[in-house]
Amino acid sequence: MLLQRIMRDPSRCRIFCKVSDMYKNEILRMLRSSGSYVSGQELCRELGISRTAVWKNIRQLEEDGYEIEASAGKGYRITGFPDTIAEEEVASILQTERMGKKIRYFSRIDSTNQYAKRIAEEGAEDGTLVIADEQTAGKGRSGRHWVTPPGEAIAFTLLLRPPLSPDRISMVTLVMGMAVAEAFRSLYDLPAGIKWPNDIVTGGRKLCGILTEMSAEVQKVHYIVIGVGINANMCAFPDEISQIATSLKIETGQDVNRAQIIARTMECFERCYAVFEKDGDLSGLMDDYNALLINRGKVVRVLDPAGEYSGTALGINRRGELIVRRDDGTECSVYAGEVSVRGVYGYV
Ligand code: BTN
Protein backbone atom coordinates (compact mmCIF):
# COMPACT_ATOMS: atom_id res chain seq x y z
CA MET A 1 0.00 0.00 0.00
CA LEU A 2 1.30 3.44 -0.96
CA LEU A 3 0.59 4.95 2.45
CA GLN A 4 2.52 2.22 4.23
CA ARG A 5 5.46 2.77 1.87
CA ILE A 6 5.32 6.48 2.61
CA MET A 7 5.14 5.88 6.36
CA ARG A 8 8.32 3.83 6.23
CA ASP A 9 10.10 6.47 4.17
CA PRO A 10 11.39 9.31 6.38
CA SER A 11 12.10 11.51 3.37
CA ARG A 12 8.35 11.79 2.78
CA CYS A 13 7.52 12.84 6.33
CA ARG A 14 6.27 16.27 5.19
CA ILE A 15 2.87 14.60 4.78
CA PHE A 16 2.60 14.16 8.54
CA CYS A 17 2.60 17.90 9.21
CA LYS A 18 -1.18 18.15 9.27
CA VAL A 19 -3.58 15.23 8.87
CA SER A 20 -6.03 17.02 6.53
CA ASP A 21 -3.21 18.29 4.28
CA MET A 22 -1.67 14.86 4.21
CA TYR A 23 -4.39 13.50 1.93
CA LYS A 24 -4.81 16.72 -0.02
CA ASN A 25 -1.15 16.63 -0.96
CA GLU A 26 -1.16 12.97 -1.91
CA ILE A 27 -4.44 13.16 -3.84
CA LEU A 28 -3.07 16.12 -5.77
CA ARG A 29 0.15 14.27 -6.46
CA MET A 30 -1.76 11.23 -7.74
CA LEU A 31 -4.14 13.24 -9.93
CA ARG A 32 -1.26 15.28 -11.32
CA SER A 33 0.94 12.31 -12.13
CA SER A 34 -1.92 10.38 -13.75
CA GLY A 35 -2.80 13.27 -16.08
CA SER A 36 -6.19 11.59 -16.51
CA TYR A 37 -8.97 10.14 -14.36
CA VAL A 38 -8.16 8.40 -11.10
CA SER A 39 -11.02 6.41 -9.66
CA GLY A 40 -12.29 7.09 -6.15
CA GLN A 41 -11.68 3.42 -5.41
CA GLU A 42 -8.01 3.71 -6.36
CA LEU A 43 -7.58 6.81 -4.19
CA CYS A 44 -9.24 5.00 -1.25
CA ARG A 45 -7.07 1.94 -1.77
CA GLU A 46 -3.75 3.76 -2.23
CA LEU A 47 -4.28 6.13 0.69
CA GLY A 48 -6.13 3.72 2.96
CA ILE A 49 -8.99 6.16 3.54
CA SER A 50 -12.77 6.08 3.08
CA ARG A 51 -14.70 7.44 0.09
CA THR A 52 -16.06 10.20 2.33
CA ALA A 53 -12.51 11.22 3.26
CA VAL A 54 -11.51 11.28 -0.42
CA TRP A 55 -14.54 13.42 -1.24
CA LYS A 56 -13.82 15.85 1.63
CA ASN A 57 -10.24 16.28 0.47
CA ILE A 58 -11.37 16.82 -3.13
CA ARG A 59 -13.76 19.51 -1.87
CA GLN A 60 -10.88 21.14 0.02
CA LEU A 61 -8.76 21.17 -3.11
CA GLU A 62 -11.63 22.81 -5.00
CA GLU A 63 -11.89 25.44 -2.27
CA ASP A 64 -8.17 26.07 -2.78
CA GLY A 65 -8.88 26.85 -6.45
CA TYR A 66 -8.23 23.52 -8.20
CA GLU A 67 -10.80 22.60 -10.84
CA ILE A 68 -11.59 18.92 -10.48
CA GLU A 69 -13.99 17.09 -12.72
CA ALA A 70 -15.83 14.16 -11.15
CA SER A 71 -17.20 11.66 -13.63
CA ALA A 72 -19.39 8.67 -12.71
CA GLY A 73 -17.57 5.46 -13.50
CA LYS A 74 -14.26 7.20 -14.29
CA GLY A 75 -13.31 9.08 -11.12
CA TYR A 76 -11.57 12.42 -10.68
CA ARG A 77 -9.48 14.48 -13.07
CA ILE A 78 -7.79 17.86 -12.65
CA THR A 79 -8.82 20.40 -15.28
CA GLY A 80 -7.51 23.63 -13.79
CA PHE A 81 -4.79 24.76 -11.43
CA PRO A 82 -4.82 27.89 -9.25
CA ASP A 83 -1.93 30.33 -9.38
CA THR A 84 -0.69 29.37 -5.95
CA ILE A 85 2.53 28.58 -4.14
CA ALA A 86 0.73 26.97 -1.21
CA GLU A 87 2.14 23.85 0.40
CA GLU A 88 0.02 21.28 -1.45
CA GLU A 89 0.86 22.74 -4.88
CA VAL A 90 4.62 22.87 -4.29
CA ALA A 91 4.68 19.50 -2.47
CA SER A 92 2.77 17.79 -5.30
CA ILE A 93 5.45 18.66 -7.87
CA LEU A 94 8.59 18.65 -5.73
CA GLN A 95 10.98 15.79 -6.45
CA THR A 96 13.50 16.06 -3.65
CA GLU A 97 14.61 13.79 -0.86
CA ARG A 98 15.65 16.39 1.67
CA MET A 99 15.06 20.01 0.64
CA GLY A 100 11.47 21.03 1.34
CA LYS A 101 10.45 17.75 2.91
CA LYS A 102 8.59 19.96 5.34
CA ILE A 103 6.91 23.05 3.97
CA ARG A 104 5.31 25.91 5.87
CA TYR A 105 3.24 28.25 3.73
CA PHE A 106 1.84 31.68 4.58
CA SER A 107 -0.36 33.86 2.43
CA ARG A 108 1.10 36.81 4.38
CA ILE A 109 4.00 37.05 6.81
CA ASP A 110 6.54 39.61 7.99
CA SER A 111 9.57 37.84 6.50
CA THR A 112 10.20 34.19 5.64
CA ASN A 113 13.75 34.58 6.97
CA GLN A 114 12.44 35.90 10.28
CA TYR A 115 9.93 33.06 10.55
CA ALA A 116 12.53 30.44 9.60
CA LYS A 117 14.83 31.73 12.34
CA ARG A 118 11.99 31.57 14.88
CA ILE A 119 11.18 27.93 14.07
CA ALA A 120 14.88 27.04 13.89
CA GLU A 121 15.20 28.19 17.51
CA GLU A 122 12.30 25.86 18.36
CA GLY A 123 14.05 22.90 16.72
CA ALA A 124 12.61 22.83 13.17
CA GLU A 125 14.54 20.36 11.09
CA ASP A 126 17.13 20.68 8.36
CA GLY A 127 15.51 21.07 4.94
CA THR A 128 12.39 22.90 6.15
CA LEU A 129 11.11 25.29 3.50
CA VAL A 130 9.14 28.43 4.41
CA ILE A 131 7.14 30.01 1.59
CA ALA A 132 5.08 33.21 1.55
CA ASP A 133 2.85 34.81 -1.04
CA GLU A 134 3.38 38.24 0.52
CA GLN A 135 5.97 39.67 2.92
CA THR A 136 5.19 42.79 4.90
CA ALA A 137 8.77 43.26 6.16
CA GLY A 138 10.90 41.45 3.58
CA LYS A 139 14.61 41.95 4.19
CA GLY A 140 17.29 42.57 1.57
CA ARG A 141 21.05 42.70 1.89
CA SER A 142 22.69 45.61 3.73
CA GLY A 143 19.51 46.31 5.73
CA ARG A 144 17.45 47.18 2.66
CA HIS A 145 13.73 46.46 2.34
CA TRP A 146 12.68 43.72 -0.11
CA VAL A 147 9.31 44.16 -1.78
CA THR A 148 7.14 41.03 -2.16
CA PRO A 149 3.78 41.86 -3.74
CA PRO A 150 1.15 39.10 -3.36
CA GLY A 151 0.45 36.90 -6.37
CA GLU A 152 3.47 38.24 -8.26
CA ALA A 153 6.65 37.59 -6.32
CA ILE A 154 8.30 34.49 -4.95
CA ALA A 155 9.69 34.55 -1.41
CA PHE A 156 11.00 31.47 0.28
CA THR A 157 13.57 30.50 2.88
CA LEU A 158 15.35 27.20 3.31
CA LEU A 159 16.49 26.19 6.78
CA LEU A 160 19.68 24.11 6.97
CA ARG A 161 21.79 22.82 9.83
CA PRO A 162 25.15 22.27 8.11
CA PRO A 163 28.02 20.87 10.19
CA LEU A 164 30.30 23.69 9.06
CA SER A 165 32.28 26.51 10.57
CA PRO A 166 30.75 30.00 10.05
CA ASP A 167 33.40 31.06 7.52
CA ARG A 168 32.12 28.40 5.07
CA ILE A 169 28.50 29.56 5.01
CA SER A 170 28.95 32.10 2.23
CA MET A 171 29.73 29.11 -0.03
CA VAL A 172 26.28 27.67 0.61
CA THR A 173 24.76 30.96 -0.53
CA LEU A 174 26.72 30.69 -3.77
CA VAL A 175 25.32 27.17 -4.23
CA MET A 176 21.79 28.58 -3.93
CA GLY A 177 22.65 31.26 -6.51
CA MET A 178 23.73 28.55 -8.94
CA ALA A 179 20.56 26.59 -8.27
CA VAL A 180 18.33 29.59 -9.01
CA ALA A 181 20.20 30.43 -12.23
CA GLU A 182 20.01 26.81 -13.37
CA ALA A 183 16.29 26.67 -12.58
CA PHE A 184 15.65 29.76 -14.72
CA ARG A 185 17.77 28.39 -17.54
CA SER A 186 16.21 24.94 -17.55
CA LEU A 187 12.61 26.14 -17.25
CA TYR A 188 12.68 29.12 -19.62
CA ASP A 189 15.89 28.82 -21.60
CA LEU A 190 16.66 32.26 -20.18
CA PRO A 191 20.29 33.47 -20.28
CA ALA A 192 20.38 33.98 -16.51
CA GLY A 193 23.77 34.63 -14.93
CA ILE A 194 25.20 35.40 -11.51
CA LYS A 195 26.53 38.75 -10.37
CA TRP A 196 28.95 37.73 -7.63
CA PRO A 197 28.23 36.62 -5.06
CA ASN A 198 24.57 35.76 -5.54
CA ASP A 199 22.37 38.17 -7.48
CA ILE A 200 20.72 36.44 -10.40
CA VAL A 201 20.58 38.72 -13.42
CA THR A 202 19.67 38.75 -17.06
CA GLY A 203 20.40 41.51 -19.55
CA GLY A 204 22.14 43.48 -16.79
CA ARG A 205 19.05 43.56 -14.54
CA LYS A 206 18.33 41.73 -11.32
CA LEU A 207 15.81 38.87 -11.22
CA CYS A 208 16.57 37.45 -7.80
CA GLY A 209 18.36 38.27 -4.56
CA ILE A 210 19.51 35.95 -1.80
CA LEU A 211 19.96 36.74 1.87
CA THR A 212 21.56 34.18 4.17
CA GLU A 213 21.50 34.60 7.92
CA MET A 214 22.93 32.30 10.55
CA SER A 215 23.09 31.48 14.22
CA ALA A 216 26.56 30.34 15.21
CA GLU A 217 29.29 30.13 17.80
CA VAL A 218 32.92 30.77 16.92
CA GLN A 219 33.51 27.34 15.38
CA LYS A 220 30.03 25.91 14.99
CA VAL A 221 26.94 26.85 13.04
CA HIS A 222 23.62 26.10 14.75
CA TYR A 223 21.55 26.81 11.65
CA ILE A 224 21.39 28.97 8.56
CA VAL A 225 18.39 30.39 6.73
CA ILE A 226 18.79 31.06 3.02
CA GLY A 227 16.15 33.51 1.83
CA VAL A 228 15.41 33.77 -1.88
CA GLY A 229 13.38 36.58 -3.42
CA ILE A 230 12.44 36.21 -7.09
CA ASN A 231 10.80 38.81 -9.30
CA ALA A 232 8.36 36.46 -10.98
CA ASN A 233 5.25 38.05 -12.46
CA MET A 234 5.81 41.75 -11.79
CA CYS A 235 5.17 44.08 -14.72
CA ALA A 236 6.78 47.17 -13.20
CA PHE A 237 8.99 48.23 -10.28
CA PRO A 238 9.22 51.25 -7.94
CA ASP A 239 11.22 54.16 -9.40
CA GLU A 240 14.26 53.59 -7.20
CA ILE A 241 14.89 50.10 -8.63
CA SER A 242 13.23 50.38 -12.04
CA GLN A 243 16.61 50.73 -13.79
CA ILE A 244 18.21 47.69 -12.20
CA ALA A 245 15.33 45.22 -11.70
CA THR A 246 13.45 42.97 -14.07
CA SER A 247 11.08 40.02 -13.75
CA LEU A 248 10.71 36.60 -15.31
CA LYS A 249 7.43 37.77 -16.84
CA ILE A 250 9.08 40.77 -18.48
CA GLU A 251 11.96 38.66 -19.77
CA THR A 252 9.97 35.66 -21.02
CA GLY A 253 6.85 37.54 -22.14
CA GLN A 254 4.63 35.12 -20.24
CA ASP A 255 3.21 34.52 -16.79
CA VAL A 256 5.48 32.07 -15.02
CA ASN A 257 4.42 29.23 -12.75
CA ARG A 258 5.76 30.19 -9.34
CA ALA A 259 5.32 26.76 -7.71
CA GLN A 260 7.28 25.13 -10.52
CA ILE A 261 10.12 27.62 -10.03
CA ILE A 262 10.32 26.90 -6.30
CA ALA A 263 10.30 23.14 -6.92
CA ARG A 264 12.93 23.30 -9.67
CA THR A 265 15.17 25.54 -7.55
CA MET A 266 14.98 23.07 -4.65
CA GLU A 267 15.82 20.19 -6.99
CA CYS A 268 18.83 22.01 -8.47
CA PHE A 269 19.95 23.07 -4.99
CA GLU A 270 19.71 19.53 -3.61
CA ARG A 271 21.87 18.22 -6.46
CA CYS A 272 24.53 20.96 -6.17
CA TYR A 273 24.51 20.89 -2.36
CA ALA A 274 25.30 17.15 -2.41
CA VAL A 275 28.44 17.92 -4.44
CA PHE A 276 29.37 20.72 -2.02
CA GLU A 277 28.85 18.44 0.99
CA LYS A 278 31.00 15.71 -0.54
CA ASP A 279 33.89 18.07 -1.38
CA GLY A 280 33.58 20.35 1.64
CA ASP A 281 34.05 23.34 -0.66
CA LEU A 282 33.16 24.52 -4.16
CA SER A 283 35.89 22.63 -6.03
CA GLY A 284 33.31 20.42 -7.81
CA LEU A 285 31.03 23.35 -8.65
CA MET A 286 33.32 26.27 -9.38
CA ASP A 287 33.63 25.64 -13.11
CA ASP A 288 29.84 25.67 -13.48
CA TYR A 289 29.60 28.71 -11.24
CA ASN A 290 32.28 30.57 -13.22
CA ALA A 291 30.45 29.75 -16.46
CA LEU A 292 27.43 31.56 -15.01
CA LEU A 293 29.43 34.47 -13.57
CA ILE A 294 28.64 37.66 -15.50
CA ASN A 295 31.46 39.62 -13.83
CA ARG A 296 34.07 37.29 -15.27
CA GLY A 297 36.65 39.15 -17.36
CA LYS A 298 34.97 42.48 -16.51
CA VAL A 299 36.32 45.44 -14.58
CA VAL A 300 34.68 45.64 -11.16
CA ARG A 301 34.82 48.05 -8.26
CA VAL A 302 35.40 46.22 -4.98
CA LEU A 303 33.55 47.98 -2.16
CA ASP A 304 35.89 46.92 0.62
CA PRO A 305 35.33 48.79 3.93
CA ALA A 306 39.12 48.86 4.30
CA GLY A 307 39.48 50.72 1.00
CA GLU A 308 37.75 50.52 -2.38
CA TYR A 309 39.65 49.48 -5.48
CA SER A 310 39.10 48.37 -9.08
CA GLY A 311 40.35 45.37 -11.00
CA THR A 312 39.37 42.63 -13.39
CA ALA A 313 37.25 39.80 -11.99
CA LEU A 314 38.80 36.46 -12.96
CA GLY A 315 36.33 34.03 -11.35
CA ILE A 316 35.81 32.34 -8.00
CA ASN A 317 38.18 29.95 -6.26
CA ARG A 318 37.11 26.80 -4.42
CA ARG A 319 36.20 28.82 -1.31
CA GLY A 320 33.85 31.01 -3.35
CA GLU A 321 36.10 34.07 -3.10
CA LEU A 322 36.21 36.33 -6.13
CA ILE A 323 39.70 36.59 -7.59
CA VAL A 324 40.32 40.16 -8.74
CA ARG A 325 43.45 41.23 -10.62
CA ARG A 326 44.32 44.81 -9.75
CA ASP A 327 45.82 47.24 -12.23
CA ASP A 328 49.32 46.65 -10.79
CA GLY A 329 49.01 42.91 -11.60
CA THR A 330 48.53 41.68 -8.02
CA GLU A 331 45.64 39.31 -7.37
CA CYS A 332 43.26 39.62 -4.41
CA SER A 333 40.67 37.12 -3.21
CA VAL A 334 37.51 38.88 -2.12
CA TYR A 335 35.44 37.19 0.60
CA ALA A 336 31.69 37.35 -0.03
CA GLY A 337 30.78 37.92 3.60
CA GLU A 338 32.66 41.21 3.81
CA VAL A 339 32.39 43.13 0.58
CA SER A 340 30.33 43.50 -2.56
CA VAL A 341 31.31 44.45 -6.08
CA ARG A 342 29.82 46.80 -8.63
CA GLY A 343 30.41 47.24 -12.30
CA VAL A 344 32.42 50.39 -12.92
CA TYR A 345 29.56 51.87 -14.97
CA GLY A 346 26.63 50.76 -12.80
CA TYR A 347 24.96 47.75 -11.20
CA VAL A 348 26.78 45.09 -13.22
C1 BTN B 1 19.03 41.09 -1.74
O2 BTN B 1 19.03 42.19 -1.19
O3 BTN B 1 19.45 40.95 -2.89
C4 BTN B 1 18.51 39.88 -1.00
C5 BTN B 1 17.03 39.80 -1.02
C6 BTN B 1 16.48 38.59 -0.30
C7 BTN B 1 14.97 38.60 -0.21
C8 BTN B 1 14.42 37.31 0.30
S9 BTN B 1 12.68 37.16 0.03
C10 BTN B 1 12.64 35.73 1.04
C11 BTN B 1 13.55 36.00 2.22
N12 BTN B 1 12.85 36.69 3.26
C13 BTN B 1 13.33 37.91 3.47
O14 BTN B 1 12.90 38.72 4.31
N15 BTN B 1 14.35 38.15 2.62
C16 BTN B 1 14.62 37.02 1.78
CB burial string 156-186: b at 16+ within 10 A, e below: bbbbbbbebebebbbbbbbbbbbbbbbbbbe
Confidence of residue 27 (pLDDT cuts 50, 70, 90): very high
Chain mean pLDDT for the chain = 90
Pairing of the two strands 199-202 and 205-216: antiparallel
Say if ligand 1 is within 6 A of residue 155 CB. yes
Question: What dotted CATH number matches 87-292?
Answer: 3.30.930.10
Task: Tell me the angle at which helices 19-34 and 40-47 cross, rounded to the nearest 10 degrees.
Answer: 130
Q: Do residues 226 and 284 make contact, with C-beta atoms less than 8 angstroms apart?
A: no
For CATH 1.10.10.10, the residue range(s) in the chain are: 2-80
Ligand 1 atom closest to 113 (CA): 12
**304-343 residue pLDDT tens:** 888 888 999 999 999 999 999 998 899 999 987 655 677 6
pTM of the model: 0.89
Distance 140 CA to ligand 1 centre (A): 5
Pairing of the two strands 102-106 and 128-132: parallel
**62-85 residue pLDDT tens:** 998 999 999 999 999 999 999 899
| CATH 1.10.10.10 matches 2-80 | yes
Cα 307 from Cα 271, distance rounded (Å) = 38
For CATH 3.30.930.10, the residue range(s) in the chain are: 87-292
Report the CATH architecture of 299-343.
Roll (2.30)
Number of other residues whose CB lies within 10 A of the CB of residue 242: 11
Ligand 1 atom closest to 208 (CA): 3
